[in-house]
Structure 1
């Protein structure tokens, strides 16, 4: 008697076996900071956004009645500074060539500025809160609002063009490096490295050693800027007296501070 093969059942078994042997998603790398240099930082600056454009460091400073935008050398006095009128509370920023965008917290206003003079050009309304902002190589804006979602926006109109779920809330200040987004997690010493296409967290960076010499009155880690032409970053925090030029490395590769 010839054995009868039930092909749908065999196929299902084979598929089930393949599915059972699929590799689990890679766990995020566990990284830390290697401090290369310590620089002065204005301890009165409530840092909400930090970004380089060329050799110029832009910083968005928060607090109602004290919000501002500065531009100048890292570790030095700002070459340019403008105030953000009360009651606006400034948040993240990103620089796109001749122009830049600066967020506000709960005011629902994005301010477009001239990146050379810092002069305000126009205001655009958006829904919800504004926390962090950066841009990808094609100019697309990436924005956080304190949730676990990153929102993509058009660089000209500021209109929403999409979003991605990250799976970690309290996403704050952002820095885009190619298609990767680095995000400070508010009220922690953790920075996440995120694949912007999928929202997958590819690394968790422990920056707690930067807080070992924190003074009373200093607030949380918040401020991350990729240094152009290098694999280094500048990190600081709200009301910190120092900023730090760092590399992100595995713990067993760390040297120095």
Structure 2
């Protein structure tokens, strides 16, 4: 233990007075939400899920791992793949997002992303960024990108250049390992890598306004083969929130339930 010098008389007195004075009010704990499963959908148990979103009734998913990365358009109710494009084996595919008629994808450590036609997945361009690429989502004006740190970057959706960002904190402490993202009702939801928790984030301040605890969502008998929770998709028209994980055999439509 590092030793501190003895306090002077005035400091000692101040410490005594401070000990006798009323303590500062305790900071309220960040709310925690549980879940209720509404419905399940099939999910490819070989899909190492990196990105997920819903559009026009279809599920779009990106998968990772070198030599196994792909982007897919999937019928949610059946799990059948309508369209798929494999990514070059030199890349580890990461998060995806839609913007107008485009699908935009990150890669993990290559510092390059790809732009595709949303309908046929034909290549339409590339872009670069510093650091790692983990996940993407968007509001109606900008893309939002995670890179594994506590910072979320804002990108111009047309130029794909960084235009700002926020640092995510909970009770003043940075929250890193921000992974798959989804924009839901004016806030950002973020998987925290290697946990069963999702952070609810205020996009203006970066403050975590709540935690979603998904402990126990995947049954124990499926855990042995499956990897971590990762993948959030929201259907605004039907108000459906869907989550899954890497190598999970199912997607789960859930409703949030307040715990405390």
TM-score for the superposition, normalised by structure 2: 0.85
Alignment correspondent of 1:241: 249
Q: Distance in 1 between matches of 2:123 and 2:164?
A: 27
- Map 1:162-173 onto structure 2 (within 5 A): 162-166=164-168, 167-173=174-180
Pick from 59, 84, 89 the counterpart of residue 81 of structure 1: 84
Which of 180, 183, 190 is the aligned partner of 1:176?
A: 183
Pairing 1:20-169 to 2, within 5 Å after superposition: 27-74=29-76, 75-138=78-141, 140-166=142-168, 167-169=174-176
Local SS of the residue matching 2:217: helix
Partner of 1:91: helix, strand, or coil?
A: strand
Partner residue, 1:228: 236
Deviation of 1:212 after TM superposition, in Å, equals: 2.6
Shift of 1:23: 8.1
CA distance in 1, matches of 2:88, 2:136: 20
Alpha-carbon distance, 1:232 to partner: 2.6
Question: Does 181-190 or 70-79 show the bigger shift?
Answer: 70-79
Paired residue for 1:203? Answer: 210
CA contact (8 A) 1:99 1:114 kept: yes
Given that 1:52 and 1:228 are in contact with CA atoms closer than 8 Å, whether structure 2 keeps it comes out as no
In the other structure, the counterpart of 1:186 is 193
Gaps of 5+ in 1: 1-19, 253-257
* 1:244 Cα offset (Å): 0.5
SS of the aligned residue for 2:216 comes to helix
Structure 1 residue 239, shift from structure 2 partner: 0.5
> Could you tell me how far 1:70 is from its partner in structure 2?
0.2
- CA deviations 1:21-56 (Å, max 9, x no partner) are x98775422101210111111001000000011211
Which of 223, 233, 250 is 2:258 aligned to? 250
Residue 163 of structure 1 and its aligned partner are, at CA, apart by 1.0
CA displacement, residues 178-228 of structure 1 (integer Å, 9 cap, x when unaligned): 431000000000000000110010110001121233242210000000123
Give the RMSD, CA atoms, in angstroms: 1.9
- Quote the residue 1:17 is aligned against: none
> 1:28/1:231 Cα in 2 relative to 1: closer, same or farther (>3 Å)?
farther
Alignment coverage as a number of residue pairs? 232
* TM-score (ref. length: structure 1): 0.86
Provide the C-alpha distance between the structure 2 equivalents of 1:249 and 1:173, rounded to a whole number of angstroms: 21
Structure 1 ranges of 4+ moved more than 3 A: 22-27
Contact 1:104 1:131 in 2 (8 A): yes
CA shift for structure 1 position 72: 2.0
- For the 8 Å contact 1:33–1:247, the answer to whether it is kept is yes
**Displacement of 1:230:** 3.3
CA distance in structure 1 between the aligned counterparts of 2:160 and 2:25, rounded to whole angstroms: 39
Deviation at 1:177, TM superposition (A): 2.1
Match of 2:6 in 1: none
Q: Could you give the per-residue CA deviations for residues 130-172 of structure 1, whole angstroms, max 9, x where no partner exists?
A: 001000122x010000001111011011111001010200000
